[in-house]
Amino acid sequence: MGEPSEQLRIPQRESGKEQYLNSNELEYQEKLAEACGVSLEKRILAFNLQPPSSQKDDLRQLYNQPMKLSTIQFKRRILTSPERVLDAPGLLDDYYLNLLDWSIKNMVAIGLDQCVYIWNADTGGVTSLERTNPSDYIASLSWSYNGDYLAVGTSDGDIQIWDVLKEQKIRSMLGHTARVGVITWNKHIISSGCKDGNIWHHDTRVAQHKVAELIDHTSEVCGLKWNSNGDQLASGGNDNRVNIWDARASTPRLTKNNHVAAVKALAWCPWQSHILASGGGSYDRHIHFWNVSSGARVKSIDTGSQVTSIIWSKDFKELLSTHGFPNHNMTIWSYPTLNKTADIPAHESRILHSTISPDNQVVATAASDENLKFWRVFQNARKNEKSKNSDKENTGSVFGGCTIR
C-alpha cells in the first residue's frame, strides 16, 4: 500500500519546509502564518509542563478566585383573600374623612355615621360609643399612642376624647369652625386638620388646649402624620399640597406642589425616617417619595388609580397602597425598586381607609361597599414562630400576640 504519508499526502517536514509544497504555496503559507502570529517552526497544540511565563500570573489569579455560589430567591407567599370580613353599615363614602384606626391594644375603631364602634380583636366583641348630638357625624378618629384613649373629630368642629374601657367621654375640645376630617396623636398632643385649611395642636393636659395654629393650606386638610420621632408633621390637603412642619414651628419647613389632586395618603418610612410617601387623588394617581432632609423628590410611581392610603411594612422592604377609582384594589410595592409585588382586587367599590395591626402583619380596609376586611399580607413566619413558642395555648390567628377567635 505504500507509505501512509504518500497515500494521504501527510506533510513531512524537513528543515521547516513542506516536501510537497511548491514555492508559491510555501510563500502563501508563510505570509498567512505571519499574519496570524503563528510560527511555522512550532507545534501549536504541543504539550508543555509549564504555562508560558507571561501567563502565569493571569492563570494563578483566575484559578485562585473563590467560587460564587448561586443563591435561590424564595418568593414570599401573599394571601389574596381576606382572613375576616365584618359588616360596616353606614360608612360614609367621603374621600376626605379618616374613619378607621387600630390600637396598640388590639382594638379596631371605625366611625359609622353618628357612632363609633370598637371591635375587640381578642374576643371578637363589639361596643359602641354613644353620640349625644344627632345633627352631626363622625369625621375622623385616632387612638392614643398607649391605646387607652380614642380621639374623635366631628362634622361640627368638636374633638372628643373617650376612655374606651369605661365607654365614657372625658373631654370635648371646641374651637374649629368646620368639620375635623383628620386627627393624629403625638404623645399628649392631638393635631387636627380642619375643612377651613387650618391645623391646630391641642395639649390634652391643660384646660386651654389650643397651643399652636398652623396656617398654610388653602383648602381642607385631609392627611396628617407625625414621624416616629415626633419632631416633624406631614400634612396634605385638597389644595394638592404637601407640607412638612417642624414640631415647634408655625410655618412649613417644606412645601411640595407636585400632586395635581388632593393629598390624603401620607406615610413615613419606618427604616428611613427622612423618607415620606404621599399619594394623590383621582386626577393624580401618583405616589411621590420625598427626602425631607434635602427636600428632593427621590422616586415617583403612577399607580393608575386614586390613592387613598399608604402603609409601610416594618418587616419587609415594602409598602402597601389602597386605591379608589377606578380599580378599588390594594397594591404591594417593593422599595426602593417599586416593583409590583402583589395586586389584590380587594373591594367592589373604592377603598376609603386602611390601618395595620399591632404586629404589623394584618391590614384592615374599609370601603364604600360597607365591608371591613382583614388581610394577612405581611405575614412573618419567624415572628409567628416566636409567638407560638411563647404561648403554646394559642389556637387562633395572632394579631400582635393576641388571638382572633
241 part of a folded domain:
yes
| Angstrom distance (rounded) from CA 150 to CA 109 | 8
130 part of a folded domain:
yes
Question: What local confidence, expressed as pLDDT, does residue 25 receive?
Answer: 75
Question: What local confidence, expressed as pLDDT, does residue 120 receive?
Answer: 95
Question: What local confidence, expressed as pLDDT, does residue 6 receive?
Answer: 45
Mean pLDDT of the chain: 86
Res. 405 pLDDT band, cuts 50 70 90: very low
Number of domains into which the chain is organized? 1
Query: pLDDT for 253-293, tens place per residue?
Result: 999 999 999 999 999 999 999 999 999 999 999 999 999 99
pLDDT > 90: percent of the chain: 72
Question: What local confidence, expressed as pLDDT, does residue 291 receive?
Answer: 98
Question: What local confidence, expressed as pLDDT, does residue 18 receive?
Answer: 44
- Residues 389-399 have a mean pLDDT of 46
Q: How many residues does the chain have?
A: 405
212 part of a folded domain:
yes
20 part of a folded domain:
no
Checking if the pLDDT of 94 tops 60, the result is yes
Per-residue HEC secondary structure of the chain comes to CCCHHHHHCCCCEECCEECCCCHHHHHHHHHHHHHHCCCCCCCCCCCCCCCCHHHHHHHHHHHCCCCCCCCCCCCCCCCCCCCEEEECCCCCCCCCCECEEECCCCEEEEEECCEEEEEECCCCCEEEECCCCCCCCEEEEEECCCCCEEEEEECCCCEEEEECCCCEEEEEECCCCCCEEEEEEECCEEEEEECCCEEEEEECCCCCCEEEEEECCCCCEEEEEECCCCCEEEEEECCCCEEEEECCCCCCCEEECCCCCCEEEEEECCCCCCEEEEEECCCCCEEEEEECCCCEEEEEEECCCCEEEEEECCCCCEEEEEECCCCCEEEEEECCCCCEEEEEECCCCCEEEEEECCCCCCEEEEECCCEEEEECCCCCHHHHHHHHHHCCCCCCEEECCEEEC
pLDDT higher at 105 or 386: 105
Question: What local confidence, expressed as pLDDT, does residue 196 receive?
Answer: 97
348 part of a folded domain:
yes
- Residues 103-115 have a mean pLDDT of 96
36 part of a folded domain:
no
Domain that holds residue 333: 84-379
Question: What local confidence, expressed as pLDDT, does residue 383 receive?
Answer: 66
116 part of a folded domain:
yes
Residue 170 C-alpha cell reads as 372625658
β-pairing, 159-163 vs 168-173, is antiparallel
Query: pLDDT for 18-56, tens place per residue?
Result: 455 667 777 777 777 777 776 766 666 555 555 555 555
Question: What local confidence, expressed as pLDDT, does residue 28 receive?
Answer: 79
Res. 4 pLDDT band, cuts 50 70 90: very low
Checking if the pLDDT of 67 tops 60, the result is no
Residue 394 Cα to chain centre, angstroms: 30
Checking if the pLDDT of 71 tops 70, the result is no
- Residues 95-112 have a mean pLDDT of 97
Q: What is the CATH number of the domain that holds 306?
A: 2.130.10.10
Q: What one-letter code names the amino acid at 243?
A: N
304 part of a folded domain:
yes
Checking if the pLDDT of 365 tops 70, the result is yes
Checking if the pLDDT of 239 tops 70, the result is yes
Cis check: omega of the bond before 326, within 30 degrees of 0: yes
Q: Structure pTM? A: 0.78
Question: What local confidence, expressed as pLDDT, does residue 20 receive?
Answer: 56
Which range among 74-78, 212-216, 326-330 shows the weakest confidence by mean pLDDT? Answer: 74-78
| Angstrom distance (rounded) from CA 291 to CA 349 | 33
